[in-house]
Structure 1
């Protein structure tokens, strides 16, 4: 099978979407399929350093130049896979080509519709999200990464239930427990003190990731625990000025360790050594860090909201992400029993194998191809 993957514009730097596209390419290629990734090239977007102007020049790359390249590539493909629903704007070029779209979440669309008062969308953003919505509504097959995302799609889009399925994400790296002998040098190189207890958080700075909430929960944890040798390790994008100000104001500078975009093996060492992962997102499309942590034997505290409580299964401890004092108390209450979660976490993480995910996508590719073939025969 010849599979054309439509990936994201590189200057948008959406790391999780780039990882997902690479996963598909690697695993499908191993199974003998021919795979190509096509994405808009940053011809104009890289000309200027101004973020504002770069954004507008990027639209030329995405919507003026890329469609011509896409049209040329379509003649090669048996099926096209749009890897991120934000690129559903390209569906209008795929009407005669078998295709599927992976929908990770509808947060930008929901924001544009006013569903999130804490996140306002400007006029141009609303226009773009309307374009994305039109593309989704014209899509042939939609694969949602969680039941929560599927529920949002069926609620907001005019798609038939039969065209919208759920394919959970698979682990994007072979995470597994790392021995102390192997992990200690890595932790030391990252600036994590020897034999310390630390809470881990992983995430970007999107508002729904609740990273300020993470800091507030940790501050409450320090106040209630009264244990000076306890740290918070924040992994992901650089913290915002507001986050740095919170750390300074609450005098926890020496307790918070910031690690920006580290490699997978270093992350595996951190997962394997952390006291627990704190993942109090307000919303998620899926929540990769939950199963990554569990695969490494790291206990998980995460939000008692879908899809986090679906992904974590019976192997996580659930908290209310906006109740910081109560969450800190819940962490302290469960510290003595965290080791009992490790075996449950291993079992739960095995539900999310990349091989299973790829197998489901291959089935969906064939369904899309058969549908298009049947329609052509009938006409």
Structure 2
């Protein structure tokens, strides 16, 4: 069996949850003899693919700051993907995002679509910039897809809530993480900060709810003057964010760090807790990353996060400042809770793996032959 993956999630941004998902899927498949695959990609600066033997793309890091360079790369990658689709030299097609460019070229070949979340459907009115105009595209792709993979039971329920999809063609395949590969017990890097800190990971805008988190945490920070916040990834702080920190008299205690796998492990390992205040997540890979590094997690009680975290986390209402502050105060002050959550996180991680994700995805492909 041969599967063709396309370029979509690997064009443009060097990092991202969707491209990480497909990279880990292909990396697991590359270790197996019962499946062959191809990635139709010509131009990419995706960091996950940097050392991947299964991709022959060309990098263009010197042009990465130019919007037109990404646009040109996207056009060329799309043309190449269409060429590979039209060749018909595959059994299953698995696009890596929601674009219908291939529908007039795929013919009767089966294709599998992964549905990540319904964030744009849930919050489109509140945040119009979220996937504007993508609903009809998703609907068309879902109608044509032979099988739809959802990354959590929550994302499946959202799919069925917002789209007219036959439940019988929907399969839930949970995700995993390989963050543990970067965790070497014998080589623990020094703490990135000579003070206790809470860790926030990823984008901070819109439904990610960073501003709500910062507002709620201010009384805790003022009560514990040695406590800091580190934000990993998501881009450098904006002028508005800097003004927010300044107005709260906390500018010296909120720090930004760029995102790399090795650096992120160190940040997780030394954090008092990883805090995830998001209003909506299809799965929540950072939860598993934190578990891998022995970091306690404090989570929003919304969307898929309770499904992933189970009893290995403490939860708060992300729209209630008191609820969030109380949960964080608990992990800051209670050493027994800190130790208990670390142990439970390690145990919970055993339920997830990238190889398990790959095996269940392969079974989806095989069901369509």
Q: In which range does the TM-score fall when normalised by the shorter chain?
A: 0.7 to 0.9
Quick one: distance in 2 between partners of 1:133 and 1:56? 25
2:187 & 2:146 partners in 1: Cα distance? 51
Secondary structure (helix, strand or coil) at the match of 2:109 reads coil
CA–CA distance in structure 1, aligned partners of residues 206 and 107 of structure 2 = 35
Corresponding residue number in structure 1 for 2:173 = 167
Q: Equivalent residue for 2:85?
A: 71
Query: Equivalents in 2 of 1:311, 1:355: separation in Å?
Result: 17
Structure 1 residues 92, 141: closer, same or farther in 2, change over 3 A?
farther
TM-score (norm: length of structure 2): 0.84
Asked if 1:290 corresponds to 2:287, the answer is yes
Quick check: 1:178–1:272 contact (8 Å CA) kept in 2? no
**Which consecutive unaligned segments of at least 5 residues does structure 1 have?**
370-379
Return 5+ residue gaps in structure 2 as ranges. Answer: 45-57
Alpha carbons of 1:253 and 1:121: their partners in 2 closer, same or farther (altered >3 Å)? closer
Is contact 1:303-1:320 (8 Å) kept?
yes
1:323 to 320, 329, 332: 320
Q: Within the alignment, does 1:266 sit opposite 2:278 as a pair?
A: no
The alpha carbon displacement at 1:215 in A equals: 2.0
8 Å CA contact 1:104, 1:285 repeated in 2: yes
Q: How big is the shift at 1:41?
A: 4.9
Post-superposition offset of 1:125: 3.1
The equivalent position to 1:38 in structure 2, one of 16, 37, 40, is 40
Cα–Cα, structure 1 residues 58 and 208, in superposed 2: closer, same or farther, change >3 Å?
Answer: farther
Q: For residues 327-360 of structure 1, give each alpha carbon's deviation from its aligned partner in whole angstroms, at most 9, with x where no partner exists.
A: 1122213431221111111111111111111110
Larger relative helix fraction: 1
2:126 is paired with a residue whose SS is coil
Preserved CA contact (<8 Å) 2:11 2:73: no
Give the match for residue 102 of structure 2. 90
Residue pair 2:231, 2:254 contacting (<8 A) in 1 also: yes
Does structure 1 residue 312 correspond to structure 2 residue 304? no
Q: State the TM-score, normalized to the length of structure 1.
A: 0.82
Give the whole-Å Cα distance in 1 for the aligned partners of 2:324 and 2:243. 22
Secondary structure at the aligned position of 1:360 is classed as helix
Work out whether 1:363 is the aligned partner of 2:369. no
Number of the residue aligned with 1:203: 202
Give the whole-Å Cα distance in 2 for the aligned partners of 1:29 and 1:216: 45
Give 1:245's aligned residue.
243
Q: 1:40–1:361: structure 2 CA closer, same or farther, 3 Å change rule? A: same
* Alignment size in residue pairs: 348
> Judging changes above 3 Å, is the alpha-carbon distance between structure 1 residues 89 and 216 closer, same or farther for their aligned structure 2 residues?
farther
How far is 1:179 from its partner?
A: 4.7
Give the counterpart of 1:129 among 124, 131, 135. Answer: 135
The corresponding residue for 2:11 is 10
Q: Do the aligned partners of 1:3 and 1:80 also contact (CA within 8 Å) in 2? A: yes
**Structure 2 CA distance for partners of 1:207 and 1:95, relative to 1, 3 Å:** farther
C-alpha displacement at 1:61, in angstroms? Answer: 4.8
> CA 1:2/1:266 → structure 2, altered by over 3 Å: closer, same or farther?
same
CA RMSD of aligned residues (A): 2.9
Alignment-derived partner of residue 49 in structure 2: none
1:176 and 1:297 in contact (8 A); partners too = no
C-alpha deviation, 1:140, in angstroms: 0.7
Deviates more, 1:303-312 or 1:328-337: 328-337
Comparing 229-238 and 129-138, the one that deviates more: 129-138
Q: Which residue of 1 aligns with 2:93?
A: 80
Question: Residues 59 and 48 from structure 1, CA distance in 2 versus in 1: closer, same or farther, beyond 3 angstroms?
Answer: same
1:216 aligns with 2:229: no
8 Å contact kept, 1:91–1:139? no
Contact 2:291 2:346 (C-alpha < 8 Å) held by counterparts: yes
